[in-house]
């Protein structure tokens, strides 16, 4: 079996990816502070911001490919702590690119749909970037700098993702579910649209990018454009939770540290043509119950 290195193995996407990938790859993963239990995955503690630390991991594993999921992915955190988040989102990504170039191996980098301002969906890979928050800006910078270092690079722009929570990193639906089960009302935006995908589907897309040696930008969103509010209603319907507790709200009515794009729905036709096959949101949600 070929060897795959997944950075951020304890994170939500990385944890799900490791389990999907281990069916076909010999998987190793890095974590920074929180080790998790992942059967069939070799875990290495490493600070990706320090080149020599991650270089030692490469030297030990000698991977055939890398999927770089480690990130500071919360926009409000990035906006509040720009230097700390830059080191995680950009400096670490540069280190990964340098090592992938040195080892002459393919890399898939998880970027974001938040590289767009949300004014002109559906977004294609060829559309110009237009981030409106530091998180989006940092991902654009990482895309650019990594591309300058290594050619064998798939820049995978990921959508809003949901699914089974890692032991230390839930997706956004876990909080919604627990609140509804406890009888607490939740407010969800009617005017923020995305093309969500489950972590299982997103993982399959990332592996496809590596296995088909995709170079350049690839959008890996789901099949459906949906608002946060509509998503919440669908989730409640499938899990038989009280819909009346889901209240409609507007982005403009909520003060947030980082600006939010109103509609970063992705055009995923390029990935679909390559064999990327998301299920419907209804099927995706039923599968993770």
- CB atoms near residue 192 (< 10 Å): 21
Give the mean pLDDT of the chain.
Answer: 97
pLDDT in tens, 131-172: 999 999 999 999 999 999 999 999 999 999 999 999 999 999
pLDDT value at residue 229 = 98
Tell me the C-alpha to C-alpha distance, in Å, between residue 217 and each of 157, 228, 243: 7, 26, 38
Distance (Å, rounded) from C-alpha 275 to C-alpha 285? Answer: 21
- Give 193's strand partners: 227, 263
Query: Helix %, strand %, coil % for the chain, to 5?
Result: 40, 20, 40
**Does this model's pTM top 0.85?**
yes
pLDDT for residue 252: 84
Determine the Cα–Cα distance for residues 147 and 141; give it in Å rounded to an integer: 10
Q: What are the structural domains of the chain?
A: 3-161+197-219 (3.40.50.720), 166-194+224-265+280-287 (3.90.25.10)
Q: Report whether 159 contacts 171 (CB < 8 A).
A: no
**Could you give the 3-state DSSP secondary structure of residue 179?**
helix
Average pLDDT over residues 190-214: 98
Mean pLDDT in residue range 46-58: 98
273-285 residue pLDDT tens? 999 999 999 999 9
Section 219-226 average pLDDT: 98
Tokens, residue 116? 């767009």
Bridge-based pairing of strands 26-31 and 3-7 is: parallel
Going by pLDDT thresholds of 50, 70 and 90, the confidence category of residue 19 is very high
| 288: confidence class by pLDDT, cuts 50, 70, 90 | confident
> What's the confidence (pLDDT) of residue 195?
98
- Give how far the C-alpha of residue 203 lies from the chain's centroid of Cα atoms, to the nearest Å: 9
């Amino acid at each position: 079996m070929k060897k795959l290195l997944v950075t951020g193995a304890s994170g939500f996407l990385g944890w799900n990816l490791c389990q999907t990938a281990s069916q076909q790859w010999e998987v190793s993963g890095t974590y920074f502070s929180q080790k998790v239990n992942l059967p069939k995955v070799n875990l290495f503690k490493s600070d990706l911001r320090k080149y020599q630390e991650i270089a030692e991991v490469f030297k030990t594993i000698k991977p055939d490919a890398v999927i770089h999921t480690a990130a500071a992915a919360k926009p409000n955190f990035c906006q509040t702590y720009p230097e700390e988040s830059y080191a995680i989102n950009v400096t670490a990504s540069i280190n990964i690119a340098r090592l992938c170039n040195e080892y002459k191996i393919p890399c898939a980098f998880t970027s974001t749909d938040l590289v767009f301002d949300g004014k002109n969906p559906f977004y294609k890979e060829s559309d110009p970037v237009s981030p409106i928050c530091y998180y989006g800006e940092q991902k654009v910078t990482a895309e650019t700098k990594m591309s300058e270092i290594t050619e064998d690079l798939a820049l995978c722009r990921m959508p809003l993702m949901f699914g089974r929570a890692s032991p230390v990193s839930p997706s956004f639906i876990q909080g919604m579910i627990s609140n509804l089960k406890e009888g607490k009302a939740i407010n969800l935006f009617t005017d923020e649209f995305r093309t969500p995908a489950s972590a299982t589907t997103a993982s399959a897309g990332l592996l496809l990018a590596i296995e088909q040696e995709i170079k350049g930008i690839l959008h890996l969103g789901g099949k459906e454009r949906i608002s946060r509010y509509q998503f919440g209603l669908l989730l409640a319907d499938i899990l038989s939770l009280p819909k009346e507790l889901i209240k409609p709200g507007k982005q403009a009515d909520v003060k947030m540290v980082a600006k939010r794009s109103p509609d970063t729905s992705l055009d995923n036709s390029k990935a679909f043509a390559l064999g990327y096959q998301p299920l419907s949101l209804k099927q995706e949600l039923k599968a993770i119950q």
